[in-house]
Structure 1
Amino acid sequence: MIHVALELGSLDIEDAEKAGFAFVTIANDGPIEAGVRAAYLSRRTSTIGLAPELHVTVTEPFHLATQLASLDHASLGRAGWVVGAVNTPSAYAAVGGTPLAGDDLRREIEDVIDVARLLWHSWEDDAVIRDVGSGRFLDADRVHHVNFTGARFSVVGPLITPRPPQGQIVVIGADTLGVTGRLDVALIDAPTHDELVERSAQARADGARLIFAEVEVDDPAPVRARLDRLEGIVDGVRLHLTGATPGLAPVIDALGPRPPAGSTLRETLGLPQGG
C-alpha cells in the first residue's frame, strides 16, 4: 500500500485529513505565503503532514530553517518542506539580486538544504533543561554553532528554536533540481510510465529515500488502478486535482484504505526519526 499526498490548493484540509492523506503540499502562489498558511493549518489538524513550498533562492536560509522548525513545533512533528527554487527576474526584484545560472542555482539549493539540516541539529535533544533552581532554561554546552560557509552565504548559528520534534524536517523536492541525494522524498513528474520507472530507479541510485510520482487527476475512477500499477515502483504519489475533477470526495472514495498515520510525518512515511 503506497502513501498518498495531495497538493492542497483550495481544498478543505479537514477533508484531506479525514481521508488519510499522508501529507498535503502548499504552493507558494497565493496572497498568503505558504509557510504562514501551513502554520495556521497546524492548529486545525492533528495527524496530516504539512509541507509548504519555500524557495531557497529568495528566502534567507537562517529564517527558512527557523520557520520550518517552528512549524514542526506548532504541528507537533508534522512538518515537511517542498524545496522551491524560483529563479525569475520578477521574484528576485522583491529581494534584490539576479537569477542564478544552472550550476550556481544547483549549488545554492544544495547549500540551503545542507545548512538547514545542520541548524535543525544545532540543539541537542536534551538542551532544554528548565532548571528552576539555577534559573537556567537551557544547557549552553548542548547548543552548537554550525559555522557553515556556502558559495553565496555563511551562517554561524545556532538556530533560535530548540531542535524540531522530528529532529529533521521531511525534505521534499523534484528529481530535476539536481540534489536528489539530499531529499527525503523525490517527486517525479514523468509523461510516460516507462520514463517514471527509469527516473525512479535513478533517483533511488542517487540516494533519495522515498519516491513519489506526480499524478494529475481528472477522472477519479481510474485512480485506484493507477496506484496499483505503481506499487513496487514508487513509495507514494502526490495527487493534483484539476478543474475537471468533480471534487475531493469522489477521489477519496476511489482511493480506498490508506496507510495509518504515525505520530510524526517521518513516522507516517517510515523515515527514521532524527534524520
Structure 2
Amino acid sequence: MSAAFTTAPRGFLALELDGDGAHPASWRKARHAPAELLDGTRVRATVLAAESAGFHVATFADGSLPAASSEDGGRDIPGRLNALQRAAFAGPVTGSIVLVPEVDTVYTEPFHISTQLASLDYVSGGRAGWLVAASDKAADAAAVGRSHVSGEGLGREAADSVEVSRRLWDSWEDDAVIRDVTTGRYIDVDKLHYVDFESTVDFETTGSDRAGGAGYSVKGPSIIPRPLQGQLPVLVPAGLLNADQLSAGAADALLVSAPTPELLAGEAAEARAAAPGAAIIAELDVVLDSRGQSAAGRLAELDAHTPWQSSRARFVGSAAELTRLLASVLETADGVRLHPAVLDVDLEELAQLVLPALRRRGLLATPHPGSTFRDLLGLQRPDSRYAATPVSASSAADH
C-alpha cells in the first residue's frame, strides 16, 4: 500500500532498456549485430552501462511487438525477451540500479505475477519494482484464450491485480520463517495467512466489455516468503486507474506524459494533485546531438526508414538543452523516465554530458549499493496487514 514520504527525496532518472532503443528503426544504428539483441550478454551490457552512468532505475518493456516494415523494402527487427526474466537476469550482476519490469495485469495470472515479482526482489536485494501494464489488444486475449477486455475494464483488472499481489506479499509475516532445528519446523504456520481475494467485478453478470468471462478468486497464501521490501513499489501509467483506486493506494508512483516537453511540468502537477501520496515520474523520448550529427538529422535519418509514433513528449536537441529541461521538470516531478531513440548512441551522450551536469547542480539523488527502491522513493517499509503484532510496534516496545 502506498505510504507517505519519510523524507523529501531528491530527483531520480529512469532509463528504458527495451531492445535497441525507442525508435522502431533503432537497430540500424545499434553497435552490435542484430542477432545479439536477444542475447544475455546484451542485457548485461546495457544495464551495467546504465548503472555506471548513474541512472537510478532501469525499466524493461514487455508485450507483443508488431512486425513493422519500411517502405524501402527493408524490415525493422522487433524482438524482446520477457521483461521479468531480463530484470531477474540483471539482478545479481548489478549493485545499485533499481530494476522495474513491465508486467501485464489483464492476461497474466495475478498469483504468478506476485510470486515472480517477489522473487525478483530477492535476487536484486530489494531493488525491484513493478511497472503495471494493461493490454487492450485483442490478439493478446486470443493468445491466452480469454475474452477481450477494454475501456474501464482495464483499470478494474489492473487495480484487482495490484491488490491481490499486495495481499499475497503480506500473506507471510516477516518472521514466518523460523528454521527451528529442534522441532524440524521451517516456518511458523500461524504466521501464514489466507488472502481470500475476490475480484471486484463479475463480468458474467455485468454484460460489460468482458461478457462471458467470470471474475476470479485467490485463496493464498503465497508460495514464497514476504519480499525484502515488504511491498514492491508499484508504478502505474496516469489515466489507467480512477480517483477511487488511486486514493485506495493502488499506485506508489504515476507515470505522466504530455504532447510536448514544455507541457510536462503541468501534467506532473495535475497528477500530484490527483494522487498526492504517489511519486510522479515524467515520460520523455530523447534524441540527442551525437558525434557531430545533429539530433534532428539523426531523427530524420531514422524516420526515413520507419516514422516514430509515440504518445510521449519528445526532446530533440543538445545535451545542454536537455539538462535545462530536466532541471525544470524535476522541480515538479520526482523523477523522469527517458526513452532514448537509439540506446547505444543516446546513452553515451547522457552518461558523458547530461547526468554529470545534473549531479553538479545537486538535482539527483546519489545511488547507494544496498538501498532499496522504497528508499529511493522515500517510502517506509510497511508491516504485513495480517500481522497480529506489527514488527515496527514490537521493535519499538523492545526499546
TM-score, structure 2 as length reference = 0.65
One-letter amino acid of the counterpart of residue 118, structure 2: A
Q: 1:161-191 CA deviation, whole Å, 9 max, x = no partner?
A: 1000001111112102125722111111111
Q: Which amino acid counterpart does residue 365 of structure 2 have in structure 1? A: P
Structure 2 residue aligned with 1:91: 140
Secondary structure, aligned partner of 1:126? coil
1:223 equivalent in structure 2: 322
- Runs of 4+ displaced beyond 6 Å: none
* Aligned position for 1:49: 98
Which residue pairs with 1:266 in the alignment?
A: 374
- Aligned partners of 1:244 and 1:26: how far apart in 2? 13
Q: In the TM superposition, what is the alpha-carbon distance from 1:232 to its structure 2 partner?
A: 2.3
Residue 205 (structure 1) aligns with = 273
In the alignment, does 2:65 pair up with 1:2?
Answer: no
Higher relative contact order structure (alpha carbons within 8 Å, sequence separation ≥ 6): 2
Contact 1:7 1:240 (C-alpha < 8 Å) held by counterparts: yes
Range moving further from structure 2, 239-248 or 181-190 = 239-248
* Structure 2 partner of 1:255: 355
Contact residue 256 and residue 281 of structure 2 kept, 8 A: yes
1:178-193 mapped onto 2 (5 Å cutoff): 178-179=241-242, 181=246, 182-192=250-260
- Whole-angstrom distance in 2 between the partners of 1:66 and 1:187: 24
In the TM superposition, residue 244 of structure 1 has moved relative to its aligned partner by 9.1
Structure with bigger strand share is: 1
**Which region of structure 1 is more displaced relative to structure 2, 74-83 or 94-103?**
94-103
Cα distance in 2 between the residues matched to 1:144 and 1:160? 11
Q: Establish whether residue 159 from structure 1 lines up as the match of residue 222 from structure 2.
A: yes
Amino acid at match of 1:201: A
In structure 2, what is the equivalent of residue 23 of structure 1?
57
CA shift digits 1:135-186 (9 cap, x unpaired):
1111111111110100221111111110000011111121021257221111
Q: 174-183 vs 243-252, which deviates more? A: 243-252
What SS does the aligned partner of 1:246 have?
A: helix
**Equivalents in 2 of 1:114, 1:244: separation in Å?**
34
Partners in 1 of 2:274 and 2:197 — Cα distance?
24
Secondary structure of 1:190's partner? coil
Supply the RMSD in Å over aligned alpha carbons.
1.9
2:77 is the counterpart of 1:14: no
Q: Secondary structure in 1 aligned to 2:280? A: strand
Q: Number of matched residues?
A: 275
Alignment pair present for 1:58 and 2:107? yes
Alignment match, 1:170: 233
Q: Greater CA deviation, 66-75 or 94-103?
A: 94-103
1-structure distance, mates of 2:169, 2:271 = 25
- Provide the C-alpha distance between the structure 2 equivalents of 1:19 and 1:41, rounded to a whole number of angstroms: 16
Aligned equivalents of 1:21 and 1:274: distance in 2? Answer: 26
Alpha-carbon distance, 1:72 to partner: 0.4
Q: How does 1:18-167 map to 2 (within 5 A)?
A: 18-29=52-63, 30-150=79-199, 151=201, 152-167=215-230
Give the AA of the match of 1:9: D
Indicate the SS of the match to 1:214: strand
Q: Structure 2: 5+ residue runs without aligned partners? A: 1-9, 21-45, 64-78, 202-214, 289-317, 384-399
Gaps of 5+ in 1: none
Distance (Å, rounded) in 2 between the aligned partners of 1:247 and 1:101: 35
* 8 Å Cα contact 2:54-2:355 kept in structure 1: no
